[in-house]
Amino acid sequence: MANATTENRLLGHYRLLAQIGSGGMGAVYRAYDEHLDRDVAVKVLPSSAAVGKGFDSKAQRALRQEALTLSRLNHPNIAQVYDLDKESDTDFIVMELVPGESLAQRLGDGPLSQDELLSIMTQTLHGLAAAHAQGIIHRDVKPANLQITTDGRVKILDFGLARFERRDGLDVKTASTEMDAGGISGTMAYMSPEQLHGEPCDARSDIWSVGIVLYEMATGRVPFQGKTATAMADAILHAPVPPISSGTASASLDGIIKRCLAKDATQRYQTAEEMSADVRRATSGTALLPSAPANAVAPNGRLAGSRPMWLSSVCC
């Protein structure tokens, strides 16, 4: 719920009504667009005074780049960005307000049926394929960032940690202050081995996260767990994928998950489109080709016992 200082506050022609989310880069509000007479979502970034000197020059610039990049994405499975503005010392991004519930909320009732999870996965992959085609790597695919509308449409949310690949041969840009500082960002349980090592990510890192989400939809739990962040990271880097015991999971689905969760990125699906093809086969009951092993060595030749790169702000 919004507090007294934000409820009914006007930012430009957007009236903030209620807080609906929060994160390291600010809070998200349900708001009313007084010009176009519609409800929207507004991400309000904290002022530089609230978070320390240097925030405005780095994080706000990066998030403005995020908004500009996402504004070029027009896909039914990605929440749309409408506007980017500044009021006094407050930067904010205006986005599509997606009704419904997150996949995280849906999973509160337990594992999903195979038909439902395959539908959600198909739509998620379609959205990611569109983002990847524009050089955008999400880097934080997880149930909380997948919104399911009342009519069953999946919308990918929150590209705040996205990595933007430039296609002109120049250096890659990153919309993450943690990455700019040489650290790692993301949600631990869904992070790929290369993310844990602080190495460059590409579409295959999102494929790993998708595999974690798929496993969670089938079983109600994530495959790699630990009582501490260190223990969880060790499981991600070294442990094989636990078998799926759910009766709803077919052999084809198990093969898809294991290929997504290959430690070596070269043995995963290389694109969202490639994975979508196997999901379609699973939906139709067609047998898949043998999957890649899910316990290979980590990317870039790292040994199984190599130490991951750490940042205290990584979420777990």
pLDDT bin (cut points 50, 70, 90) of residue 32 is very high
Paired residues of 148 in beta bridges: 101, 154
Per-chain mean pLDDT for the chain: 80
Average pLDDT over residues 249-266: 90
Coil, helix or strand for 146? strand
Average pLDDT over residues 294-312: 44
pLDDT tens track for 37-71: 999 999 888 764 344 444 455 667 666 766 877 78
**Residue 54 pLDDT:** 47
User: Of the listed 140, 206, 264, 278, which one is catalytic?
Assistant: 140
Helix axes 272-284, 203-219, angle to 10 degrees: 30
> Taking Cα atoms as reference points, which of 162, 165, 193, 141 lies closest to residue 300?
193
% of the chain with per-residue pLDDT over 70: 73
Give the domains, in start order, of the chain with CATH numbers. 10-96 (3.30.200.20), 101-301 (1.10.510.10)
pLDDT tens track for 144-159: 999 999 999 999 998 8
**Residue 247 pLDDT:** 52
Half-sphere exposure of residue 226, counting CA atoms within 13 Å on the CB side?
Answer: 17
pTM over 0.75: yes
**Long-range CB contacts (< 8 A, 24+ apart) of 240-248?**
240/294, 240/295, 241/215, 241/294, 241/295, 244/215, 244/218, 244/219, 245/219, 246/111, 246/218, 246/219, 246/220, 248/111, 248/112, 248/113, 248/114, 248/117, 248/218
pLDDT tens track for 156-213: 998 878 887 755 443 433 333 233 334 566 799 999 999 999 888 999 999 999 999 9
Least confident stretch, 9-18, 50-59, 107-116: 50-59
Catalytic site includes residue 168: no
**Residue 59 pLDDT:** 64
**Residue 306 pLDDT:** 47
**Long-range CB contacts (< 8 A, 24+ apart) of 313-316?**
313/24, 313/178, 313/183, 313/185, 314/183, 314/184, 314/185, 314/186, 314/188, 314/191, 314/229, 315/186, 315/187, 315/188, 316/187, 316/188, 316/189, 316/229, 316/232
Residues 6+ apart with CB under 8 A from 302: 193, 197
Strands 163-164 and 146-148, bridge-based pairing: unpaired
Coil, helix or strand for 127? helix
